[in-house]
Amino acid sequence: MYKQLVLNLFHSKWIWYIGIATIIINVITALLPSDTQPIILQFSNSLNMIAIIFTTSSYLSIHDLLRKNNNHYFYYALPNTKKGILKGEYVYYIMMLILTSLIIASYLATNKEMYYVYGFMMIIGVCLTVMSLYYLGFAKYWMRYVFTGYFLYGIPVVTTFLFHFLPLRNVNEMDRALPGFDFYLYHLPIYTLIIGVIMFILTYFINLRNITKYDMI
Amino acid sequence: MNAITVTGLDKNMGGFKLESIDMNIRKGYITGLIGENGAGKSTVINHMLGLKKQDAGRINILDKDLEAERTALLNSIGLVFAEDRLPQNVTPVRLSKLLRTFYDQWDKETFFSYLKTFNVNMDRRIKYLSTGEKVKLSIAIALSHKAELLILDEPTSNLDPTFRMELLEILQELMIDEEITILFSTHITSDLDKIADYIIMIDDGKIIFEMEKETLFETYRKVKGSKALLDDETKSLLIGATSNALGFEGMSKEYEAFKELYGNKVIIESLTIDEIMYYIKKEKRGFDNV
């Protein structure tokens, strides 16, 4: 597990730099006088969105990097067990989710609009779900469908952003009530997150059973 | 005693199949694995490394279970891939730091010493190294973690002749100084003429022969003679025979019989590994008259 974790960290240092820089900028923004914050927020809103996209899709960008020049042949021939590789992948994603949560927490410290928690919860729940769907075939296909993974990630996450996050923001900023949408805006995120966590755990154990049965390349 | 034993390996990959592959790579010797491009050499090697999973059959390497003891096994194997699979955006120095995490006995001093000897720039990103330098880097990696078994998949294909000779000398020195086993897959068979102890030929996913090199050279000889001597009986004793206006030539196991029958009318010559492969392929394709 440790070896795969080191390998993933080796290939994702820029994601970590962006994430940590975002957190630092958020914290600095939170400490600035309230009249200067809106100017910085215009820039940091985009930075936070980019950082969250990078951290939540890091498994895809790492697989993409590993597949360049068929590097994964080299890496998979290094001393490591297949179960160790799998565990490393899952633990790495948990670390990325922790980084994502820290980015969100630091953003909320600047923005202070707590309804965003539901939006971010929904996005993380969807990301966990799509990551689990991508990894559902990992034991059988390993890294052969990274491109499909990008679609699997991009379409649901963009849809969630457009049809949940933005309406949530609009409803709260414009102080409008959408009758019958309370469940959709405020309760669905919690269930989505729970489903995401369950799928994450389930796919891990499914993969663990099947990881030695198929071609790695 | 074998370093690698492959028994009944079957693998169907759609357009290509490995069929009933049986191989014995003897411990402490150099075994050459020969075959033309696309014969299945790299595919067999990928199965030995656990990168591919066989449909049937068993692979035993260094008396360890391929899945249960994968880490220990791969620690014992030094590998050179046929194609460039190295990460491109790192330098050899940075790669060494990563490899230290994976290999229990990674020897950075030996690694840098090989790079210096091979004249590979340690601080240049791998993507900017030449093809030959990348192969030399792969070889340096394979030799820098006290491997018991070296699996070299076409290591000399992209090397200049001078370095090829140097590499063969290094391998011979390793055989003398250390108890290692080498599996050397290549289609440049002249390298094996010099250093191999055993030869295995693979073609179209099947093992054609597995023999001690000296026995191979004693078993097969080239037979040449005039066309008048070629009849159904002599044809049946020849492998991959061709004939033209000047005469016939082919490979035979029964060269002693030719000598007895025709005396000085036939010429019996030794063969190189290249020529043995050539005649076997010819026999398979059914070429006859040129």
Residues of chain A positioned with their CB less than 8 A from the CB of B53: 212-215
Total count of residues recorded for chain A: 217
Name, in order, each residue with C-beta under 8 angstroms of A165's C-beta and a sequence gap of 6 or more: A119, A122, A123
- Inter-CA distances, A213 with A83, A210, B73, Å: 11, 6, 18
- Residue ranges per structural domain of chain B: 2-216, 220-285
How many C-beta atoms lie closer than 10 Å to residue B119's C-beta? 10
Query: Using an 8 Å Cβ cutoff, are A130 and A157 in contact?
Result: yes
CB B183 within 8 A of CB B157: no
Amino acid at the residue A120 = F
Residue B99 CA to its chain's centroid (Å): 26
Q: Which of B74, B101, B148 to substitute to test the interface with A, most A CBs within 10 Å?
A: B101
Cα B9 to Cα A137: distance, rounded to the nearest angstrom: 26
| CA separation, residue A140 to residues A94, A206, B44 (Å) | 22, 11, 20
**What CA–CA distance (Å, rounded) separates A156 from B233?**
74
Burial of A46 (0-12, 13-18, 19+ CB in 10 A): exposed
For residue B209, give how far its alpha carbon lies from the nearest alpha carbon of chain A (Å): 27
Structure pTM? 0.90
Instruction: Write the residue in B51, B88, B98 that is nearest to A10 by C-beta.
Output: B98
Is 0.85 exceeded by the ipTM?
yes
Q: What element of type H or E holds B222?
A: strand B221-225
Q: Is A84 on the interface with B (CB under 8 A)?
A: yes
Transcribe A63-132 into DSSP letters: HHHHHGGGHHHHHHTSS--HHHHHHHHHHHHHHHHHHHHHHHHHHHHHH--TTHHHHHHHHHHHHHHHHH
For residue B131, CA distances in Å to B113, B117, B127, B151, B171 come to 20, 17, 9, 19, 21
Query: At a CB cut-off of 8 Å and minimum separation 6, what does B86 contact?
Result: A69, A71, A74, B95, B126, B134, B137, B138
pLDDT tens, position by position, for chain B (290 residues)? 899 999 999 999 989 999 999 999 999 999 999 998 899 999 999 999 999 999 999 999 999 888 889 999 999 999 999 889 999 999 999 999 999 999 999 999 999 999 999 999 999 999 999 999 999 999 999 999 999 999 999 988 878 888 888 888 888 888 887 689 999 998 888 888 888 999 999 999 999 999 999 999 999 999 999 988 888 888 889 999 988 888 999 999 999 999 998 999 999 999 999 999 999 988 887 755 44
What is the distance between the alpha carbons of residues A61 and A75, in angstroms, rounded to a whole number? 16
The CATH fold assigned to B2-216 is: Rossmann fold (3.40.50)
Q: Chain A: give the shortest CA distance to residue B280, in Å.
A: 31
pLDDT at B290: 42
Q: Does A140 touch chain B (CB under 8 A)?
A: no
